[in-house]
């Protein structure tokens, strides 16, 4: 009996050690990948569009008259709150949040925007309901009891802004890009930008990099697009040059 107990304890110890090694290795690799990222600083970069820098992440605000639409909600609530103060933007002026996906570094400040309606793709909801997993057996969560689901290619209006949702799965099962007024393309983690050209996003963070790379084709044929805004690699005001190599 003692031998069996010792073997069981040894087995449990080995299992715990393997789990610790796995997670330490994962965190070190994640840290290394994050160092490659180049988000934009908080400022107004073109008429009524503001990147908000939160460590290695950008969320964005678009001004519509006296209110704002947010694309994603950052990595840290306190940091987002302080960055908004620098721009003299009140959180209750944000009336909508368009989520490109539901990873933690894109949803952390949702609770700041109490007047905002939250939007996400219909496919991404699977990560919130437990139908799909993001990592091992874990899904995603957001601090919003209600939200509006968007279909692929759905066009809708918020205030004076015309918005088109473009499904680009791969980073997550329901990653979605948003084309606003036909010329401002917000891509979340669907791709990266390097030297003004689009590139695949860090494969380490993708659910399915093959699918993510294929999804990039969906956003390279937008006739009137001018800007591409990423969540971790800044932006470009030269859409045509950025996507040229993928056509």
pLDDT at 93: 97
Closest CA to 235 of 185, 190, 201, 200: 185
* Stretch 79-94: mean pLDDT: 96
pLDDT at 246: 79
Tell me which of 23 and 100 has the higher pLDDT: 100
CB-based contact 78:55 (threshold 8 Å): no
CB-based contact 114:91 (threshold 8 Å): yes
Closest CA to 226 of 213, 207, 243: 243
**Residue tagged 């793709």 (tokens):** 121
163: exposed, middle or buried (C-beta count within 10 Å: 0-12, 13-18, 19+)? buried
Examine the domain organization and report whether 123 and 168 are in the same domain.
yes
Examine the domain organization and report whether 47 and 20 are in the same domain.
no
pLDDT at 24: 63
Examine the domain organization and report whether 104 and 224 are in the same domain.
yes
Phi (first) and psi of residue 180, to 5 degrees: -110, 130
Examine the domain organization and report whether 142 and 239 are in the same domain.
yes
DSSP 3-state of 27: helix
19: domain range?
A: 1-35
Examine the domain organization and report whether 144 and 30 are in the same domain.
no
Cα 170 from chain centroid? 12
* CATH number, residue 226: 3.60.15.10
pTM, two decimals, is 0.91
């Amino acid at each position: 009996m003692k031998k069996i107990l010792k073997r069981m304890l040894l087995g449990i110890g080995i299992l715990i050690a393997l789990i610790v090694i796995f997670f330490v290795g994962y965190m070190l690799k994640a840290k290394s990948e994050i160092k490659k990222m180049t988000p934009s600083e908080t400022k107004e970069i073109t008429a009524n569009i503001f990147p908000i820098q939160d460590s290695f992440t950008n969320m964005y605000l678009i001004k519509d008259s006296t209110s704002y639409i947010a694309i994603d909600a950052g990595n840290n609530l306190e940091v987002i709150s302080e960055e908004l103060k620098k721009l003299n933007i009140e959180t209750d002026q944000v009336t909508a949040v368009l989520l490109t996906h539901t990873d933690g570094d894109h949803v952390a400040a949702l609770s700041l925007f109490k007047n905002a309606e939250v939007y996400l793709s219909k496919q991404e909801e699977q990560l919130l309901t437990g139908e799909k997993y993001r990592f091992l057996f874990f899904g995603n969560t957001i601090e919003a009891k209600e939200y509006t689901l968007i279909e692929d290619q759905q066009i809708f209006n918020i205030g004076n802004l015309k918005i088109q949702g473009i499904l680009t799965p791969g980073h997550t099962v329901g990653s979605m890009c948003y084309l606003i007024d036909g010329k401002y393309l917000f891509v979340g983690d669907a791709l990266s930008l390097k030297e003004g050209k689009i590139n695949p996003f860090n494969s380490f963070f993708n659910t399915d990099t093959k699918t993510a790379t294929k999804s990039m084709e969906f956003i390279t044929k937008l006739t009137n697009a001018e800007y591409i805004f990423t969540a971790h690699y800044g932006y470009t005001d030269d859409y045509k040059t950025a996507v040229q190599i993928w056509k």
